[in-house]
Structure 1
């Protein structure tokens, strides 16, 4: 163990942060006491809850310590038993800094340490902003010790790569997730009100029946007006929620890491080591494509919760996204090479086959209306299949490769050649009849594999051979000799 390493504690204001976080629970305890026995009981309920919370946070502060060694960080808890968690620094994939509203008011921050599947993760619930930045710099800099003198520490240099503009928040309704926000909020509010009313005895069968009769008896104009107001609220609420989560979304480079900061109430800062970023992914849907909007994510080795922690831009014009991708990864291989026409018939067939199959079963079950509806869906699925074919593409250069597929969710992965760890060529019975194959690019980052769907069989092999010739060429050279031996064996007389 490094003799110079100091044992540190969380910030003393952890008590205040904990009290603010448990304020809602205390209010709930007070409300329960008010229902049970009046104001005096509510006061005692709240007082007991506050006392227990204070004891808990004092015990946590006293018993929790952390130590940064040259090769690891140790998190210790010593209450009744002793627990020591060790995270090797070489396995640390990222150090995220976030701050809820109480943390920000007190100048504190939460430090989350992600060391991938093997190293685990750790969290420091409340440290000063200065200490949080120091930990991020130290833990992500392998060559510098936590206790190195200031002269030996690297100079902090920040270079901004991209920043969200206010008008980009208007792209939120194009994403289905944010557009459904009013439904989620309304459902949560109604569920909370119902549960609270049920606990207080305000909900009875008679009252529910009367409410149902009142709703049914509303004028048609009122129902239509309510529906219109709700539909108008959907895009407005989606923009508000999108802005709350992604306010002032800024991407910058500092100390060999790419850092993304965002949020209003809770400000979150995610650091991604530059040397572990092995690619990027562009993601969009038909509405975003029509508006020229794309989302960008980073493909990072060993990153947990990559869908959120690897986000580089939530929604931005394609030109801004491509510029950021170039700054983070480098030049994108272009133009994309289209796939053969046989892939078009396969894409259309796969789009119309499910509704036609259901229509056939509906006819056998004597359900003509279901069959008619499925036939209509099959007709509308033809443009979907054609668009899926148009989106297929692949390309490569001397450093990176890219593959693209999908329509309702189009995804284009751009990966460094050095990140490729293997290939898999998959051919179904129908693909073999059409001379097609799906090439799966195995990558040690992101989701692990990215498909180049319905390529010509020869193109799939040539694509893999161009990127990793040492892996693929021996198999290509052995294949003719293997087929010759097989033909010779077939012609040999059997005993």
Structure 2
């Protein structure tokens, strides 16, 4: 027998289909308890708490447990070549195939019960939709979740690096192909050498290159109530309690009539009702701050193996991975209270990202200077001044901020003169005060307007109570949309929207002049607009 010279190639170990951890069987029945409470309580009440009622209730619980066992037994997953397969097999066979090169990110979260059992939920985002059915493994061990996350992300990069060269399309030149796939423009030997070099580079990254960009100190969590995201939590909890009382009052034993009686009694005692409302208002910043801290506890932004990884959460620890190569910019959000405190929040603008409002968060409330520093380090810095919008844009904002209150003041004044009731004069004074405050609001909204381009990135900004500045790379722009409402036509201004294949899909510069509406797209994408502009324009 002839033995080949040189080292033998290392064969990839064969892995059998994997299953979720058996510990997940302790979680599925608990999740089903809320949907079983009402039927079980109804069964016990109808049966009169007899032995037969308890028997049927036990049968219902047993069926639930058996269903959970069957779901666990028929579910498996495995990585086969360049794809991940998620299988369900009982009477019929269902296989969900996810090509590795389409994976945009892998998220790992640990809800409370999962954390107690040492389990995690792993979600795979391919950018096809925002649904959870993209790919979800609910109940893998923490070690398996981290292993899968590392393997999937690394193999995803390798699959893209070694993607085979494509043939030119009809009418397409070899130069166009080489721009998107350089290996296709070379001979087979050069293409093979390029692929081998790329694979070698991927293998050299076996040890993950991890660098912590920022770890948010716990003291910065005190900025949480300024965002307003969780301020209405007390009212939401109170509303949920009222809804529970009306829906399940009879089943819980105190009756729906009792809830109605309490409501009528509070309505007949307005001072006590006002005290309850004031108590909820006072609780808003405290409860909102606690909820904000729970969701953003120990927030870390990490650069790891070509991905931006955001980790956060106290009860439910969550890790979100965003492929750095698909990040096209960022959006900085500042509410009015946040601007007074000098803090801001940051979201990434990423192509093919589902649920971007949750998964795309790069930073919670942090000092504004830190927000710009981190975005510049992680994504890139916008290096130009924003250009002001025409004065007519200021007049439009002043009119909209003042005119409604002046109209209300006129209406209350006329009512006071006709009815001779002093209370209407109070309304007039309040309306005039709001009109006066509208002056500063309108001026601030105008100062917030702006747009610009630094040769690499464009930026648009607008808003006052919620000011948003989006910074997008020029390569992400896929089109322009110029729009004019009836009132804008009267004022001679336009809304210019840069269509972007990422984030919200478009970011608008509001109330720009005609010269800006034409000149800004011509500056950012001159090759697109050149055929539509006459010489000298």
User: Normalising TM by the smaller chain, what interval?
Assistant: 0.7 to 0.9
Distance 2:27 2:255 in 1: 36
Rounded to whole Å, the distance in 2 between the matches of 1:478 and 1:452 is: 26
Tell me how far apart the structure 2 counterparts of residues 433 and 26 of structure 1 sit (CA, whole Å).
61
- 1:421 matched residue in structure 2: 478
Preserved contact between residue 144 and residue 152 of structure 1 (Cα < 8 Å): no
Superimposed CA distance per residue, residues 240-291 of structure 1 (whole angstroms, 9 cap, x where no aligned partner): 1111111111111111111111112211111111011101000121111111
Report deviation, 1:417. 1.1
- Indicate how the Cα distance of structure 1 residues 208 and 396 shifts in structure 2: closer, same or farther if over 3 A, else same: closer
**Secondary structure of the residue that 1:477 maps to in structure 2?**
coil
Q: What is the root-mean-square deviation of aligned Cα atoms in Å?
A: 3.5
Contact kept in structure 2, 1:352 and 1:379, CA below 8 Å? yes
Once the two structures are superposed, the pairs formed by residues 325-336 of structure 1 within 5 Å of their partners are 325-336=375-386
Is the deviation greater in 424-433 or in 331-340?
424-433
By how many angstroms is 1:27 displaced?
6.0
Question: TM-score normalised to the size of structure 1?
Answer: 0.85
Q: 1:59 to 1:153 in 2, by over 3 A?
A: farther
Q: What SS is found at the alignment partner of 1:338?
A: coil
The 1:360–1:75 alpha-carbon spacing in structure 2 relative to 1, beyond 3 Å, is farther
- Tell me the CA shift for residue 435 of structure 1: 4.6
| 1:30 and 1:42 in contact (8 A); partners too | no
Matched, 1:240 2:308: no
Alpha-carbon distance in 1 for matches of 2:280, 2:274: 10
Tell whether 2:237 aligns with 1:185.
yes
Q: Any idea what the Cα deviations from partners look like across 1:306-359, whole Å, max 9, x if unmatched?
A: 111101122121122112211221112333222222221122234345566788
Q: Secondary structure at the match of 1:116?
A: coil
Q: Structure 1 residues 358-367 or 42-51, which shifts more?
A: 358-367
User: Does the CA-based 8 Å contact 1:247-1:264 persist in structure 2?
Assistant: yes
Residue equivalent to 1:68: 79
1:294-373 → structure 2 map (5 Å cutoff): 294-352=344-402
**Which residue of the other structure, out of 420, 429, 448, is the alignment partner of 2:505?**
448
Matched, 1:250 2:300: yes
Mark the runs of 5 or more structure 2 residues left unpaired by the alignment: 1-11, 160-198
Tell whether the 8 Å contact from 1:26 to 1:46 is kept in structure 2 after alignment. Answer: no
Which of 513, 516, 522 is the equivalent residue of 1:465?
522
Name the CA distance, whole Å, in 2 between partners of 1:10 and 1:94. Answer: 21
Cα gap change, 1:476 to 1:334, in 2 (>3 Å):
same
Q: How does 1:172-211 map to 2 (within 5 A)?
A: 172-200=224-252, 202-203=254-255, 205=257, 207=258, 211=262
Q: Deviations over 1:426-459 (max 9, x none)?
A: 3445545555332211111100110111223223
Tell me which moved more, 30-39 or 367-376: 367-376
Cα distance between partner residues in 1 of 2:213 and 2:354: 23
Q: Are 1:90 and 2:101 an aligned pair? A: yes
> What is the CA–CA distance in structure 2 between the aligned matches of 1:457 and 1:219, rounded to whole Å?
56
1:8 alignment counterpart: 18
Say whether 1:57 aligns with 2:68: yes
Pair 1:17-2:27 in alignment:
yes
Q: Does structure 2 retain, via aligned residues, the 8 Å contact 1:285–1:410?
A: yes
* Residue 108 (structure 1) aligned to one of 114, 119, 133: 119
- Indicate the residue corresponding to 2:320 in structure 1: 270
SS at match of 1:13: helix
Match of 1:399 among 456, 475, 479: 456
Cα deviation code 1:63-104 (max 9, x no counterpart): 112222333222211122222222222222221111112211
2:336 corresponds in structure 1 to 286
In 1, Cα distance between equivalents of 2:469 and 2:68:
47
> Could you tell me how far apart the structure 2 residues matched to 1:357 and 1:139 are?
61
User: Is this contact kept in 2: 1:29–1:42, CA < 8 A?
Assistant: no
- Alpha-carbon distance between aligned partners in 2 of 1:209 and 1:187, rounded to the nearest angstrom: 14
Deviation string, structure 1 residues 392-439 (Cα, Å, up to 9, x no partner): 112221221111001121110011111111122334455455553322
Displacement of 1:191? 2.1
CA shift for structure 1 position 209: 6.9
CA distance in 2 between partners of 1:394 and 1:209 (Å): 55
CA 1:471/1:18 → structure 2, altered by over 3 Å: closer, same or farther? Answer: same
TM-score normalised by length of structure 2: 0.78
User: Alpha carbons of 1:55 and 1:394: their partners in 2 closer, same or farther (altered >3 Å)?
Assistant: same
